[in-house]
Amino acid sequence: MPERFAIYYAPAADDPLWAKAAEWLGRDPLTGATIDGSLPATARSALFERSISARRYGFHATIKAPMALAEGRTRAELEEALGEYVSATEPVAIGPIKLALIDGFLALIPATQSEALTAFAGDVVETFDPFRAPPSDEERARRLQNGNLSPRQLELLEGYGYPYVFEQFQLHMTLTDRLPEGERAAYMQAAAEHFGPLAEADMAVDRLVLFHEPEAGAPFARLDDFMLTGETADARIRAR
């Protein structure tokens, strides 16, 4: 599988939530550092086994899922397009967040997801889809194997390479892999203790962050932040 790029939301690198999440998962995708100190709320070794995939992908909320670049497309072109997009697009409120279980995965999600946030995510998916190469047979089979997809989700998988877009989108920042039912309450409590008030913070999508998987199975790296400013959109309005 070739290298892949993903367009995510992630808090600023100096945001306390980013630091706490890196500590929880045991890896910082920006620096590449492994964090293996003790956690007062849970056993590090146990959490390590329950967050293998989450740690590899890094703390984030998926906006445009990992994709190999379409033939003829380059990273430089993707970065240029991201720069143009964020300059024409304003930040979008998330509102207060909360800890939740999604199909057995522990995550931070909006307490209430707004229509504006869903529409924004859908616009990103649509705008950057021309950069996406069609999924390989292996990748498509993995997507099909990982969940019981509805007919609509299968349609989206075929059309956009990912089933959880548009009205199927739920912003979530994953903290574990799928947990056994008997362990979910304990990890929910451990995360509540670890994150404290940060797990209820008021947030906004103020940036799109480009992540990179250099080769299949490699840890994702945080490459660059693209700040949503809406400056060029404001300029067009003023020029009318």
In the chain, % of residues over pLDDT 70: 95
d(CA 123, CA 215) in angstroms, rounded, equals 28
Q: Give ∠ CA 94-164-50 in degrees, rounded to 5.
A: 80
CA–CA separation, 121 and 100 (whole Å) = 20
Q: Which of 96-105, 142-151, 211-220 has the lowest mean pLDDT?
A: 142-151
Q: Provide the CATH number for the domain around residue 151.
A: 3.90.1140.10
* pLDDT at residue 239, rounded to an integer: 39
Tell me what pLDDT residue 234 has.
53
**Which residues are CB-neighbours of 36 under 8 A, at least 6 positions away?**
26, 44
Here the tokens at position 105 are 């995965």
**pLDDT for position 147:** 66
Taking 70 as the threshold, does the pLDDT of residue 152 lie above it?
A: yes
Residue 59 reports pLDDT greater than 90: yes
- Tell me which of 91 and 232 has the higher pLDDT: 91
Q: Which pair of tokens denotes residue 67? A: 């994709």
pLDDT tier for residue 10 given thresholds of 50, 70 and 90: very high
Q: Which residues pair with 204 in a beta bridge?
A: 93
Which residues form the domain of 170? 4-239
What's the chain's average pLDDT? 94
pLDDT at res. 137: 81
Confidence check: pLDDT of 235 > 70: no
d(CA 27, CA 35): 5
Q: Answer yes or no: is pLDDT of 1 > 90.
A: no
- The DSSP-derived string for the chain is ---EEEEEE---TTSHHHHHHHHHHTB-TTT--B----BTTB-HHHHHHT-HHHHHH-S-EEEEEEEPBPTT--HHHHHHHHHHHHHT---EEEEEEEEEEETTEEEEEESS--HHHHHHHHHHHHHHGGGBPPPPHHHHHHHHHTS---HHHHHHHHHHS-SS-GGG----EEEEEEPPGGGHHHHHHHHHHHHGGGGG-EEEE-EEEEEEESSTTPPPEEEEEEE---HHHHHHHHH-
Is the pLDDT score of 53 beyond 50?
A: yes
Q: What pLDDT is attached to residue 240?
A: 39
Q: Worst-scoring range by mean pLDDT, 98-102, 124-128, 133-137, 148-152?
A: 133-137
pTM reported for the whole predicted model? 0.94
Largest CA distance in the chain: 60
User: What pLDDT score does 237 carry?
Assistant: 41
Higher pLDDT, 145 or 57: 57
Question: φ and ψ at 55, to 5 degrees?
Answer: -70, -40
Residue-level pLDDT at 18: 98
pLDDT band at 238 (very low <50, low <70, confident <90, very high): very low
How many structural domains is the chain composed of?
Answer: 1
Where does the pLDDT of residue 2 fall: very low under 50, low under 70, confident under 90, or very high at 90 and above?
A: confident
pLDDT at position 148 is: 84
Q: Give mean pLDDT, residues 54-82.
A: 98
Q: How far is residue 59's CA from residue 220's CA, in Å, rounded to a whole number?
A: 10
